[in-house]
Amino acid sequence: MSARRVFIRGVGVVSALGRDWPSTAAALAGGRSAIGPITHFDVAGYPCTVGAPVLDPELEGPDRRLGLARRAAREAWARAGVSVAPERLGVFIGAESGRATLSTVCELAQAAGGGRTFDHVRFGARAPAMAPRIDASVVSPAAVASVLAGEWDARGPAQTVSLACASGSAAIIEAVRALRLGLCDVALCGGVGADVDPLMLAGFGHLGILSAKGCSRPFDARRDGFVVGEGAALVVLSVERGDAEAEIAGVGRSLDAYNLTAPDPEGDGARRSMLAALRDAGVETVDYVQAHGTSTPLNDPVEAWALRVVLGDGLARARVASVKGALGHWVAGAGALGLVCAYEAVVGGRMMPTAGLETPDPDCDLPHVIGEAVYQEARTALVNAFAFGGANTSLVVRRCA
């Protein structure tokens, strides 16, 4: 028995360029970048002082992931126009752990005295008042899926995928698999990242992978690291076509088994992930690639090599771009944002450019989209998201016949 088709019924995005997908897409198409100096906390002394945060008081709260995810999910659901029994609605979300605010972390660190010795009595007296700010509703990766399931009374399968930069796309892949298997009929899925904060800047800075120049330039000869961004991208998938114009036709996952923070330099895992998605979709080439494109010296040439190997001569007839040049790296939300960009190319014929890319690295020789969006018909698109730990994900989006 053939697997059920999976249609994209609605998309929703909250970004530093717009509070919904139409406004974000218009800004991206014009070549705008949201990356700029971080002003909502003191960045003095950090290795990178720029980012692409979403600064909206309406989205603030103890867990910033929730406000972003709710708004994107509501947009996607409103656009989808689906009706489904609670037991047939699944929720699949890519999310990393939440974090208490820096002030809470500092306050907790001082609760025991802040000196060389740990004052247990003082800590016992002061720490309980901080517990609500660091409990599971704030820090659990599963908190986002739980909140969204509650809002839509979803009682079908639920899954949280915490897989670093591949979290959002891996969650979408698991949703596709559940829909194909008949475990649910509709799925709310995607990813969210809320990482423009002191702890993430310090952590990524310690690894030496942030841009010291303060620029995100995927595939550019001058790139020196990525810039942290944040936002949410949610999609509603359904086995009923309705008025859907695109479907997820192929999915693929692989593992490098090479290094925690560096890709396999041979690109074998990326190659296998893409091949799996293309074979699943029954195609050999695509019209558009929304690349992982992190703007790091290591990742970009590896992905470029893998694309040349996988797509062969067909690559010359495609266009390639990375949204991270405009919105930074959303980490857990990155792959889901890439899917929405691919959806836009297939449905609207609008291929987003790679902001920041001006002088392509010869090692990243690809048919790039530079400057502004390219408008041309696209029937198929490939989306890549490659993560720490060597986790690779690829999806193929196809315009419905």
Span 70-96, pLDDT tens digits: 999 999 999 999 999 999 999 999 999
Residues in the chain: 401
Q: Give the residue carrying structure tokens 């810039």.
A: 227
The answer to whether the beta carbons of residues 48 and 31 sit under 8 Å apart is: no
Backbone phi and psi for residue 78, each to the nearest 5 degrees, phi listed first: -65, -40
Q: Give the residue carrying structure tokens 């752990």.
A: 97
Total-model pTM: 0.94
Q: Check residues 263 and 166 and name the one with the higher pLDDT.
A: 166
Report the alpha-carbon distance of residue 301 to residue 366 in Å, rounded.
Answer: 10
Look at residue 2 and tell me whether its pLDDT is greater than 70: no
Report the alpha-carbon distance of residue 334 to residue 355 in Å, rounded.
Answer: 16
260-307: per-residue pLDDT in tens? 888 888 899 999 999 999 999 999 999 999 999 999 999 999 999 999
Token readout for 243 is: 């008025």
334-386: per-residue pLDDT in tens? 999 999 999 999 999 999 999 999 999 999 999 999 999 999 999 999 999 99
Report the alpha-carbon distance of residue 13 to residue 20 in Å, rounded.
Answer: 5
Mutual angle of helices 198-207 and 102-110, in 10-degree steps: 90
Distant-in-sequence, close-in-space partners of 101: CB < 8 Å, separation ≥ 6: 62, 133, 197
Q: Check residues 46 and 100 and name the one with the higher pLDDT.
A: 46
3-20: per-residue pLDDT in tens? 899 999 999 999 999 999
Backbone phi and psi for residue 247, each to the nearest 5 degrees, phi listed first: -135, 160
Residues acting as catalytic residues: 165, 292, 329
Report the alpha-carbon distance of residue 141 to residue 97 in Å, rounded.
Answer: 4
In sign, the C-alpha dihedral spanning 95, 101, 105, 111 is negative
The answer to whether the beta carbons of residues 48 and 202 sit under 8 Å apart is: no
Return the pLDDT at 149: 98
Return the pLDDT at 1: 44
Return the pLDDT at 46: 94
102-144: per-residue pLDDT in tens? 777 778 878 888 778 888 888 888 888 888 777 777 789 999 9
Report the alpha-carbon distance of residue 35 to residue 211 in Å, rounded.
Answer: 12
Distant-in-sequence, close-in-space partners of 337: CB < 8 Å, separation ≥ 6: 13, 15, 168, 191, 231, 233, 323, 327, 330
Express as a percent the part of the chain with pLDDT over 90: 83
Report the alpha-carbon distance of residue 331 to residue 229 in Å, rounded.
Answer: 8
The mean of the pLDDT values for the chain is: 95
